Every structure is written in structure tokens, then in C-alpha cells.
A and B are shown apart, each in its own frame.
Chain A
Amino acid sequence: MHSPENPFARDPHLCSDHAGEGPSIWSLPGLPDALRREWLALETRRHFLGRGMQAFGWAGLASLLGRPLAAQTAASPAVLAPHYAPRAKRAIYLFMAGSPSQFETWDHKPVLQRMFDQDLPESVRGGQVLTGMTASQARFPIAPSVYKFAQHGQAGHWVSELFPHTARIADELCVLKSLHTEAINHEPAILQLTTGNMFPGRPSLGSWLSYGLGAVNDELPTFVVMTSKMPHRTNVQALSNRLWSSGFLSPEHAAVALRSAGDPVLHLNNPPGVSGDVRRAMIDGVNALNRQLFERVGDAETNARIAQYEMAFRMQSSVPELADLSSEPQSTWDLYGEKAKEPGTYAYNCLMARRLAERGVRFTQIFLRSWDQHSNLPRNIKLMAEESDQPTAALVTDLKRRGLLDDTLVVWGGEFGRTCYSQGVLTAENYGRDHHPRCFSMWMAGGGVKPGLSFGETDDFSYNIVKDPVHIRDLHATMLHLFGLDHNRLSFRFQGLDQRLTGVLPAKVIDAILA
């Protein structure tokens, strides 16, 4: 190493990130003992997971046996078997970012038809602070849905005419009409749904599942995110990886985001002239260096990095197979529509979600944006519904006919609700709706939820909840429960706290929606 050609040889501290020469946790003076222990716990758990393949399954067995694992400490449960037998093995979360209005989708409010352009009674609003976008409006004129509703299936769900395909799977759906949140703007609201907290930096739901349950298929990531092309663009929210990051959990629990155009994963193919063997040798070499680094410095991130090199290598063969749709029968295209052949469309992503579910990926989150209809709602929500209705229904139908819906939880919804009054000018054909955190609708299907159930009720204005409120924490607690995890017990010691997805405020599993 100390050849004269090596420019770093003279000064090992040349770069600040030349970590190999930096201090280790053991040599840092004045560090409180508790912090050292927490760090050790973090480090050992990560080290443990970093061993890859067999480690995952065995982690569960070994810790259940009460066998003293070198890696196990009180702060790192390392228990990968669920607390109780799960109903769901995987979930597909269809995130309708921007928030579709409940009035044109799932919360049928016939009373409003007779109240067109009347003022929202002050008693309903109850002095609520509004967003800056409508607070200055002189009036709050009631805007009934221009779209009609009809009851569908034995369940008798009221479904808007915008969703004819989804209406046909009504009996599979458990519709929740009483979600509520504190967040009134998109980013915090989306974060609260994806990570349980309005502030960035927390692990997302998929990361918690990966941490708590490990992988089903080590050839693919445990948590996958896909963003979708939009049929039109208005008020589009930025999506960033903090929505699917692993926060304080080890980086291997973060989602892998599949790209919506071109290769699903960049630089996955070996460059021309580089054979698989050469690639393998290179990764082995890098890993050996990383292991040496870890021995010396003990930084857990190093092990996460090793795990990620290995995952990338395995994905070189698993992702092309995943993305090769040539073996799909005609019935697939009949079901999802021809658009499913075009990478990056919502329809394509729904089909990919089924293929990921078949291959054991635990959590797939698809984002479809541009539901934020502050104006021109009737026109724009129709575009969005046309883009998404058929593929959404196709996904549920496809999972069901292939026997996957039983243990795959499908969730559909945005981040908050919208107002019953018009934002901006109200006419017979046109209006907009502002953000509304006090109530919104979602649906779930499969994975151990009661099919055909409608849960929760709002008042005639879908302004306040009158029955069975469901906070996002309750939704999360329920989702974890379906995966066999107790949200109180799935925790990770960080900054002196046993951190949980559901945080410290009360959260409950919604027993009434469990099948």
C-alpha cells in the first residue's frame, strides 16, 4: 500500500471520510455508557442481519430458542417470527397522493344534493382553522358531487360512477369512511401515513415490516416502491425517498424504488465486457475490504453496505425475470388493459405488484399523484379515475383468482379528505375542494380484513366523524396486527426511547374490521 505512487500514502488523514483511520466507538472518550450500549445493540443487530440469506430465518429460530445469540441484547429483539400467526404475508399499498375527494369516491352524501350553493353551517365547521387557500373566502358554498352513486354487490357499498370496475369488486372491499389525521398539508400528511409521523426521518411502514419479519425472498428487496406516470399534472406533490426510508433502522430495510421508465433498476446490467464472474469477484473483493473496515471501526453502516452489494448482485438475475412480461397470458392484458404493457403506467405498476407478491416481496407501495383537485375537480378527478379504476380492480381480481388475496392486504387511499364546500367559484358543473383532515375514506381488501364491510360514519357534510373514528395510528396498528405483529412490541431503541411505528399516543387495532 505504501508505494510512492499512492497519493494517500503520506497522509492517511487526507480525506475526512477516510473512515478506516478514524476513532472507533471504543476509543471515543467521555461517551456515556448508556449510549455506548445503545450503539452496540444497533451495531450487533445490523451485523446479525448483514449475514444475509440463512441469517434471516435463523434469527427467528435462534432467538425463539432463547439461545444466547452473541448479537442479541435487550435493546435488539432480533425476533423475526411474528408475535402471533399472521393473516397477511404481504401488502400492496395503492397510495393516491394528493388525496382524492371522498365526495366523488366513497362517502356518498345525498343530502348535499339539495343544498347546492348554500353556506356551510358554522355549527358544522365548529370554528375549525382552515388552510390559507380558503380561509379568506367570503363564503363556503356547499358543492355536491356531480357524479352519481349506486349500491353495488351483496355488500351494498355505495360506489361512485367514476369507478365502474372497482364497483364490480365491491364485495371484496372493506371501506373505511372515518379516517382522520392532524396534518393539513400534503408532505406531513403523506409522511404520517407512510412513516407514522409528520416529521421526516422515521422508518416507513414497509421498513418496519422488513425489520420485524425479514425477507420471504432474499433475491428481491423486501420493500419496493413504484411511482406512476400521471394522466395529467396539476398540483403534483414531490415524492422523495424519505417516504420510504428506513429512518433509524438499518438501511437494508429501506425500499428499493423501481424506476418508472427504462430499466426498472439502473446499472443493473454488467457493462459490456464484464462477465458475471468478474462482477462476482469484484463484489467479493469490495466486501472483503468492507469487512476489514468493519473489524477495525465497527460502523454498522459498513455491514449494511455489504448486504446491499449482495442484494444488488442477486437482483441482477431476479429483476430481469421479474420485469419480463412475455409469459403473461392474454387474460392478463384483458384484465389490466393494454396500458399495462407500458412501463411506468399505473396499470403496469399494478401488474408488477402482483408479480412482486407472487415472488414474496412483503410490501409494495405504488404512488399515483395528481389527485389534489383544488379547482376543476369534476374534470380532473375523472381523468384520474379513468387512469386507475381498471388496473386497481384488476389487481384485486387477479390476486383473488390466483389465490393470493387471502394473504395479501391491499390498501387504497390518499393522505386526507377534502372539503364539502367549494374552493373558488362554484357552478353547476365546476368546483374545487380544499384539504380536510377531519375525515377521509380508504379501502382495504384481502389479507384478513372483513370483505364487504363499511366501517365508520361521517355527518351529512362529511365534515366530522360521527361513528368509529380511525386514526392513522389505528390503521397502522391494524396493519401490523394483520402481519402478526403487536404494534406495542415492535420497537427499536433509538435516542433512549423504544421507538414504535405508532409512537407514544394511544393506538388501537380495529377489531371490528378483522375477518
Chain B
Amino acid sequence: MPSSPELSRVRRRLALALLLATAPLGAETTFYQDRIGPILERHCVVCHGPEKQKAGLRLDSFAWVMKGAESGAMVLPGNAAGSELHRRITLPATDEEVMPSEGKPLLSREEIRNVELWILGGASATKLVAEFPGAPAIGRPKAAAVALAPDWRPRADEIRRLEAELGVRLVPRSQQPGDGLILRTAGSPRRADDAALARLDPVAELIVEAELARTPVTDAGLAAVGRWTNLRSLDLSRAKVSGSGIAALAGLSRLEALNLTDSAVDAGGIERARALPALRRLWAFGAPGMAAAEARP
């Protein structure tokens, strides 16, 4: 089994491949989305965003940027030199008013130039990258995150309803909506039975991690799990599943981690699990299949 650094390398390569496959290479992306948004996100949103609004200023969307601070507009379209936002990012590091404040790393020359060209070009939300041929490339420290699942937010009402009805929890894995949901059952594992799982079809492709340890889930319930096509990690420790149930997971082409500890999965089931195309980590401590494998000379 590959070690985790290897796995993350694989992931990174995969991420890059997806990025190359889907990025329209500037043809369709707006300059704001491609350059300005990420610059502000990286340097400013910690203090000027949803959690903190220093000086009453938010910089986490085009609309907020143009709305300005308590004291007024920070960006004057066409007039970089007169824009307070531009002034703040071009001050010397020693200046009290320089942004980002608190001694955080300043913007690179390329980043500043992008902001400048954007303001000079009318501070537009819609102009495309192609319309700024003179804009220097900016370093991108991290590859853009690959969405693991569709955005769950439009289905928030449904999610809430399912949580209430089934007694399970469907929590976002992170504040990135593309990171999908965790199906969480630790608080009342007994309620997560086969019938409950079958009712999760409406959010099937949003579930990226499923924590089903200590639940009464049986092979019948795995039929539903087999439809969660974006599942990356599945914990069935101490669930009532057996070897034949694993067959229902065959379609989970993205499943990377499967925990069968103390389940009833036999050697055949473990073979089936090993055949999952993306699986990198498998645990079966205490399962009959593992004991059989260990007994073999």
C-alpha cells in the first residue's frame, strides 16, 4: 500500500490533471475571478471577510470590494492612484497604514501590478483575462482545490430535513462547499440503520465521508452506500456487514479508505475490497477475513 506522502503526490497530480482538463485557460474566466479575487483571498480576507470586517470593509466578493468601507469607496474605477485600496498595498512596509497590516507578508510586485491594471481597466467584474495581455503571471502557491462533490448549499433545506428525520448528521467537511459532507452517526449510531441509509439517496453524491462505525448497518444497507459515488472514506468498524455485502460497493470508484475493523467481513469480502480501483487504505483488524489471512503461512 502506498504511504501517505505518495498518496498526496498522487492526489496533487490528479488535481493538476483535473485542473488542466477543466480550466479554460483564460478564454472564459474573468480577470476578477482569476486574479483579483484570489489575491484578496490570500492576503486580505482574514481581516476583511465574513469573520472580521476591519474598518467595516469586506473584500471577499466583487460586490463587497466595490461597496467600500465605513468611510466610503476604496476603489475608484479607472483611477488607481486615487484608490485607497491601491494606496494601502503600495505603501512601504514600515508605514503604519500598509496593508496587509500586522507585519504580514506584503503583496508581490506582480500582484500589485494586477490590481493596478484591473482598476485602470475600470475595475470590472466581467472583463476577461484575455483583455489584460500586459498583466504579469502571479505565483499560485497551491493548486486550485478540486471539488470532491457538488456544492451542497442549494440543498441545505433538504439536508436539514434529513438530519431531523433520520437522527444522523450531515456536516460540511470544511468551509469549501466542494469538499462535500460527512455523514456522522457517532451521537446515535443505532439510528443509522439500513432503512435510514436508503433514505439518503437525495444527497447521495454529496457524501464524501461516511462514519458508520458501531451502527447496525447490514449488507442490505450497503446497497444504498454503493450509490454514494463521491465517497472517499467509509468507516464500517463494528457494523454488521459481511463479506458478500462488500460487492455492493464495487461501483465506488473514488473510495480511498475503507475500515472494516471488527466487522463480519470474510476473506472473500476483503478480496472484493482490495479490488476497488481507488482504494489505498484498508483495515480489517478483528474481522474474520483478516484472521484467516493472518493464519495463512
Contact = CB atoms under 8 A, between A and B. Distances in A.
B51 A85 contact: no
A82 B261 contact: no
B179 A403 contact: no
Contact of A403 (B53, B171, B184, B259): B259
B163 interface: yes
A61 B52 contact: no
B285 A79 contact: no
Instruction: Give the dominant DSSP class at A's interface.
Output: loop
A61 B160 contact: yes
A182 interface: no
Contacts of A219: 186-188
Interface residues on B, range: 35 or more
A216 interface: yes
B5 interface: yes
Interface stretch (A123-131, A271-279, A483-491): A483-491
B175 A64 contact: yes
B193 to A, nearest CB: 17
Interface stretch (A50-58, A102-110, A383-391, A474-482): A50-58
A149 B8 CA distance: 33
Interface string B24-36: 0000000000000
Interface in A71-107: 74, 77, 79-86
Contacts of B153: 64-65
Contacts of A60: 171-172
B67 interface: no
Contacts of A488: 46
Contacts of B169: 54, 56-57
B174 A58 contact: no
Interface string B205-221: 00000010110000000
B156 interface: yes
A118 interface: no
A113 interface: no
Contacts of B103: 506
B94 interface: no
A357 to B, nearest CB: 11
Contacts of B273: none
A217 B186 contact: yes
Interface in B228-242: 235, 237
A506 B102 CA distance: 10
B186 A515 contact: no
B192 interface: no
Interface in A233-283: none
A2 interface: no
Contact of B174 (A84, A216, A402): A84
Interface in A18-70: 53-54, 56-58, 60-62, 64-67
A79 B170 CA distance: 15
Interface string B252-292: 00000101011000000000000000000101011000000
Contacts of A65: 153, 156
B156 A61 contact: yes
A65 B5 CA distance: 34
Contacts of A57: 163, 169-171, 184
Contacts of A218: 187
Interface in A331-355: none
Contacts of B53: 74
Nearest to B7: A515
A86 B53 CA distance: 25
A489 B173 CA distance: 17
Contacts of A64: 153, 172, 175, 177
Contacts of A56: 169
Nearest to A63: B50
Given A61-B172, A217-B186, 6 more contacts: A61-B156, A61-B159, A62-B156, A84-B176, A216-B187, A360-B211
26 contacts: A54-B163, A61-B160, A61-B171, A74-B51, A79-B51, A81-B171, A81-B173, A82-B175, A83-B175, A85-B176, A216-B184, A218-B187, A358-B214, A359-B186, A360-B186, A360-B211, A402-B237, A402-B262, A402-B283, A403-B261, A403-B281, A403-B283, A450-B5, A451-B3, A489-B51, A515-B5
Closest 10 CB pairs of A and B: A403-B283, A360-B186, A217-B186, A403-B259, A81-B172, A57-B169, A218-B187, A401-B285, A85-B174, A57-B171
